[in-house]
Amino acid sequence: MSIRVVEEKCNGCRLCVRACPFGEISLEGKLAVIGDGCNLCGACVPACKFGAIEMQIERAREIDLSQYSGVWVVAEQKNGRLQSVTHELLGVGKELADRRGVQLSAILIGHGIADAAAELVARGADNVYVVDSPEFEHYQDEPYSRVLSRLINTWKPEIVLAGATATGRSLVPRVAVMVRTGLTADCTGLSIGDDGLLLQTRPAFGGNIMATILTPRHRPQMATVRHKVMRAVPADRSRKGNVISVEVRESDRFCRARILGFVEEEEKTVNIAEADVIVSGGRGLQSPENFALVEELALALGGAIGASRAAVDAGWIPYSHQVGQTGKTVQPKLYVACGISGAIQHLVGMQSSDIIVAINKDPYAPIFQVATYGIVGDLFQVIPTMITKLRQR
Amino acid sequence: MHIIVCIKQVPDTTNVKINPETNTLVREGVECIVNPFDMYAIEEAIRLKERRGGKVTAMTMGPLQAESALREALSLGVDEAILISNKAFAGSDTWATSLTLAKAIQKIGEYDLVICGKQAIDGDTAQVGPGIAVHLNIPQITFVKKIEELTPLPAGSIRAQRMMEEGFQVVESPLPVLLTVVKEINEPRLPSLRGKMRAKSANIPVWGPEELGLDSDQIGLKGSPTYVTKIFVPERKQAGKIFRGEAEEAVNQLLQELRGRKLV
């Protein structure tokens, strides 16, 4: 496994230096040198017009991919109610299944979940595999990952999708390792390539670049998707599907951890990820007292309150309101960004909003690149004016 | 008590920009830092050691320059550091990385806790922590925002708060266990002068595939089930309508547009 510069063919033209997205290639004299931090992305190989860069990929042992068929969605439920990220996964899952000419199945683990199973059929699942037992009432890492791994090894799906929620991000990485396969987290794009492989696209480097990832030689191809990235499928009660009850084995129940309780967040807030309108505040508000302007504007627009990382780190508002790469991804009809410069890590969390309004005194703030409408001005004048006018109607 | 902390050296992606002409990452002036979430992991490990006694070992898998991240950990109060580095590890995805780190932890032997940061800010996957837990066959608690109680081995148990979307779970687990931590857990300290001097002279062993008993088809690009086929710079949307001038006028124009779209 290696990459090397073929000395005789390299003439120091620097095409590879320019092609490397990570800046790992430099010139020593007239010879290109690949640095220590090279992660073998391969961008330089086609960039060199002289064939002076060679990359060799040795293949590990092959598994029989033809045995794997079908698209699965791991449904997420809380207290017997499906989480809406599941409906979004069923939407993209259906597209993938149709393209592959295979069935779409949902895996439902919990207790008292018969209604949820019926809803999964209404949302597009051809089959629903139900694992219903008291021990599975609340999500726990070990039993859920054991059951899911066992089902994957038994029924051999070619693609498994799950929500990138707190649960999903604990469960799916465990399962991927147990089943010895590849997992791509937080995908923003999923499609089938010409060769039938799942193309998994996601942001990396804090959202500065996008990467398309394949799992060419292992199965299933696993991916997680954040809430509000894909569009949900509406329910169609006339749809028919198979609901299959899965027998629980003793080994599935193995669990070393214990849940002692759950403490709800003190503040009663709208879960911003579900809101149609979000008004967000950032560093431009300058103080926690001023942040009240954001709250008043949100109230006047009938929306929820969001925040950039700067506002959360400054302690003006709890983390549950944070929008961005390390916060929530939102997709409201209207997103108003107040005093937010628009660092890429924030944009990644809200740029799919239908209409984006930006208010900032800096005309060069990156937020204006994604805004549908912008006001360049002093937010301490603009926002109170907006609130007054909205209240007048 | 022995705590192992897994850290990663990453470019400071919060400061990385794209050169619009060449469509590549501008790396000049972008520092290599210890992954921010790992700083909280290091801090938590040191605090636990200060309260209960014991030892903290930091390890990282990376190119040779990652040694500086380990020296930083040592300067904060970590007792020992191990660098896992070899050309054969290059191109590792999260599967290969978690296996490699797990093998290193197994080589170390006895431990009460493995602590990792929630995710690395370059890969952003949050997969390696849970992957290590599976390879080691130990339980995990992810997104820990507070450790309520800890009893070291041999009795061995922990009670922790696990952050979820609308609150937190209180979870109890036997030891050894792997934790991934979030920023709410603590405030990382700054290194002391004494710490920095200690770190400078510390001996950091380097382990490769041979020391870890790993075959070439389990590690690096060859051992990685996922494969990056394309990297590209995301398209920026077209700029929209900007209203300038007096607040009164600008707001009127904006509200008119929003009314037209039936949003107000």
Structural domains present in chain A = 2-56 (3.30.70.20), 65-253 (3.40.50.620), 272-392 (3.40.50.1220)
DSSP secondary structure string for all residues of B115-179: EEES--TTT----HHHHHHHHHT--EEEEEEEEEEEE-TTT-EEEEEEEETTEEEEEEEESSEEE
Per-residue tokens: A252:
């599935």
| Residue B133 contacts A where some CB pair is shorter than 8 Å | yes
Identify the DSSP state of A278: E
User: HSE on the CB side for B223, CA within 13 Å?
Assistant: 20
- pLDDT value at position B168? 93
Instruction: Using CA coordinates, name the residue in chain A closest to B32.
Output: A37
How many CB contacts within 8 angstroms connect chain A with chain B? 283
Of the candidate ranges A105-119, A289-303, B11-25, the one whose mean pLDDT is the lowest:
B11-25
Q: How far is CA A228 from CA A81, A94, A199, A212, A273, in A?
A: 18, 17, 19, 20, 7
Which residues of A, range 371-390, sit inside 8 Å of B by Cβ? 371-378, 381-382, 385-386, 389-390
Q: Is residue B241 part of a domain?
A: no
Best A39, A84, A251 member to test B by mutation, with max B CBs in 10 Å, is: A39
- pLDDT value at position A57? 61
What ipTM is given for this predicted complex? 0.88
Nearest CB to A209; choose among B126, B233, B264: B233
Contact between residue B57 and residue A54 where contact means Cβ atoms under 8 Å apart: no
Instruction: Using CA coordinates, name the residue in chain A closest to B242.
Output: A374
CB < 8 Å to A181, chain B: 95, 225
Handedness of CA A9, A13, A14, A18 (dihedral sign): negative
Instruction: Using CA coordinates, name the residue in chain A closest to B125.
Output: A185
Q: Is residue B249 part of a domain?
A: no
Nearest CB to B251; choose among A165, A368, A385: A385
| Residue A1 contacts B where some CB pair is shorter than 8 Å | yes
Identify the DSSP state of B234: P
Residue A159, strand partner residues = A71, A221
Counting residues of chain A whose pLDDT is more than 90, the rounded percentage is 69
Mark yes or no for CB contact B244/A262 under 8 Å.
no
| Residue B208 contacts A where some CB pair is shorter than 8 Å | no
- pLDDT value at position B24? 67
Contact between residue A203 and residue A176 where contact means Cβ atoms under 8 Å apart: no
CA distance A207 to A159: 25
Which residues of A, range 110-129, sit inside 8 Å of B by Cβ? none
pLDDT mean across residues, chain A: 91
> Could you read off the pLDDT of A67-107 as tens digits, one per residue?
999 999 999 999 999 999 999 999 999 999 999 999 999 99
B47-72 CB burial, b ≥16 within 10 A, e <16: bbbeeeebebbbbbbbbeebbebbbb
| Residue A293 contacts B where some CB pair is shorter than 8 Å | no
- pLDDT value at position A319? 86
Give the domain extent around B138. Answer: 2-218
Mark yes or no for CB contact A373/B16 under 8 Å.
no
- pLDDT value at position A20? 80
Contact between residue A372 and residue B238 where contact means Cβ atoms under 8 Å apart: no
Instruction: Using CA coordinates, name the residue in chain B closest to A351.
Output: B237
Determine the straight-line distance between the first and last CA of chain B, rounded to whole angstroms: 60
Q: Is residue B247 part of a domain?
A: no
- pLDDT value at position A121? 97
Q: Is residue B188 part of a domain?
A: yes
Instruction: Using CA coordinates, name the residue in chain A closest to B119.
Output: A326
Overall number of domains in chain B: 1
CB < 8 Å to A204, chain B: 122-124, 231
Best A375, A381, A387 member to test B by mutation, with max B CBs in 10 Å, is: A375
Measure the CA angle with vertex A43, ends A39 and A45; round to 5°. Answer: 105
Contact between residue A105 and residue A129 where contact means Cβ atoms under 8 Å apart: yes
Contact between residue B46 and residue B73 where contact means Cβ atoms under 8 Å apart: no
CA B93 to chain centre: 14
Per-residue tokens: A286:
């300058």
| Residue B220 contacts A where some CB pair is shorter than 8 Å | yes
Measure the CA angle with vertex A233, ends A268 and A129; round to 5°. Answer: 90
- pLDDT value at position A268? 53
Mark yes or no for CB contact A261/B169 under 8 Å.
yes
- Provide the CATH number for the domain around residue B70: 3.40.50.620
Q: How far is CA A92 from CA A374, B20, B76, B93, B229, in A?
A: 33, 32, 47, 25, 21
Q: Please tell me the distance in Å from B137's CA to the nearest CA on chain A.
A: 10
Q: In one letter, which amino acid is A111?
A: H
Q: Is residue B123 part of a domain?
A: yes
Instruction: Using CA coordinates, name the residue in chain B closest to A209.
Output: B233
| Residue B157 contacts A where some CB pair is shorter than 8 Å | no
Mark yes or no for CB contact A375/B167 under 8 Å.
no
Q: How far is CA A99 from CA A66, A194, A309, A377, in A?
A: 16, 10, 39, 49
Determine the straight-line distance between the first and last CA of chain A, rounded to whole angstroms: 68
Mark yes or no for CB contact B13/A208 under 8 Å.
yes
Q: Please tell me the distance in Å from A126's CA to the nearest CA on chain B.
A: 28
pLDDT category of residue A291 using cuts at 50, 70 and 90: very high
Mark yes or no for CB contact B251/A386 under 8 Å.
yes
How would you write the pLDDT of chain B (264 residues) with one tens digit per residue?
A: 999 999 999 988 766 777 767 666 676 777 899 999 999 999 999 999 999 999 999 999 999 999 999 999 999 999 999 999 999 999 899 999 999 999 999 999 999 999 999 999 888 899 999 999 999 999 999 999 999 999 999 999 999 999 988 789 999 999 999 999 999 899 999 999 999 999 999 999 999 999 999 999 999 988 999 988 888 877 765 668 999 889 999 999 999 999 998 888
Mark yes or no for CB contact A174/B25 under 8 Å.
no
Q: Is residue B234 part of a domain?
A: no
CA distance A259 to A244: 28
| Residue A229 contacts B where some CB pair is shorter than 8 Å | no
Mark yes or no for CB contact A178/B134 under 8 Å.
yes
CA distance A173 to B152: 27
Which residues of A, range 253-272, sit inside 8 Å of B by Cβ? 256-265, 271
Q: Is residue B246 part of a domain?
A: no
Q: Is residue B78 part of a domain?
A: yes
The mean per-residue pLDDT over the stretch A209-231 comes to 92
Mark yes or no for CB contact A215/B227 under 8 Å.
yes
The mean per-residue pLDDT over the stretch A346-370 comes to 91
Q: With 0.90 as the threshold, say if the pTM is over it.
A: no
CA distance A349 to A342: 11
Mark yes or no for CB contact B139/A256 under 8 Å.
yes
CA distance B93 to A184: 10
pLDDT over threshold 80, residue A32: yes
CA distance B158 to B178: 11
